[in-house]
Amino acid sequence: MTFSSANQNTIDPLAAFLYHPDMTHDILIELTWELEKTAPPFEGNNIKSPEGLYRHIIKKYTVKGAKVFDPFVGLGTTMFMAEELGRIPYGIEADPNRHQWVAGQLENWTHVVNDDSANIARYEFPKMDIILTCPPFMSRFDKWNPLYDGDPKHAGYDAYLRRMTHILGKIPPVMKKETLLILEGQNIVKGNQFTPLIHDIVKSASKSFKQVGESYVKWINPKTDCPLTTLLIFKKK
């Protein structure tokens, strides 16, 4: 297909400032936790990110007409905010129900394909101005692997991380030289079980990218299980 261009952790902000690798990125961002768009009937709000976060990122890092790509479209927050702000959305979503629901509400609906994001090379995407996504999260204590739609042959956290590394490694060809990859990340805490997902996503991304920044989003009136979100900022090597 050819396309036209139509943390759960407590932080010390001072320490984050002193060790931040790229001082052009915000260290601490304060936003109100608010879901503006209702999830579709087949889905809950548990996988949705607040629209205000993606609106903030797109406005900060892109200009009107920029091409915005999300390899894990989910419920379309990146896509919807890109169009709202006069940018051009592109994306891949593996789940057919989510894909249909998102594409059906976009002006640029043909830019969103229903496929596994590991197959990005099948599509002649243009060079993007930013890659912005919240990848599917997984606990290291779970077996159901969201990157394989729960296929038991690929169960477990180690398989998830290997697949994440593989998928992220397919993204650089659609990036311009200075394009940023920004990943939303959160560590997972369930009772006394802790998954260092931020550390592990950074490790996966670092096979193909160089980390150039990290921003912390402090939520005003947050969900009880999500007082803090981390933005992991990379450039391709």
Average pLDDT for residues 3-17, to the nearest whole number?
46
**Structure tokens, 199:** 């550390």
Mean pLDDT on 230-235: 97
**Any alpha helices (H) in 46-106, and if so which ranges?**
51-61, 77-84, 96-103
Distance CA 5, CA 70 (A): 16
- What does the mean pLDDT of the chain come to? 90
Q: What's the pLDDT band for 4 if we cut at 50, 70, 90?
A: low
Nearest to 103 by CA among 115, 91, 87: 91
What does the block give as tokens for 195?
Answer: 């998954």
pLDDT tens-digit readout, 138-183: 999 999 999 999 999 999 999 999 999 999 999 999 999 999 999 9
Which domains does the chain carry?
Answer: 13-236 (3.40.50.150)
Residue with tokens 């990036």: 175
Q: Which of 2-6, 24-28, 171-175 has the lowest mean pLDDT?
A: 2-6
- Amino acid symbol at 6: A
Question: Tell me, what's the pLDDT at 48?
Answer: 79
Which residues, including other chains, have CB under 8 Å from residue 18's CB and lie 6 or more apart? none
Q: Check whether 12 has a pLDDT greater than 50.
A: no
Asked whether the predicted pLDDT for residue 47 surpasses 90, the reply is: no
User: Would you state the pLDDT for residue 163?
Assistant: 98
pTM listed for this prediction: 0.90
Beta carbons of 179 and 131 less than 8 angstroms apart: yes
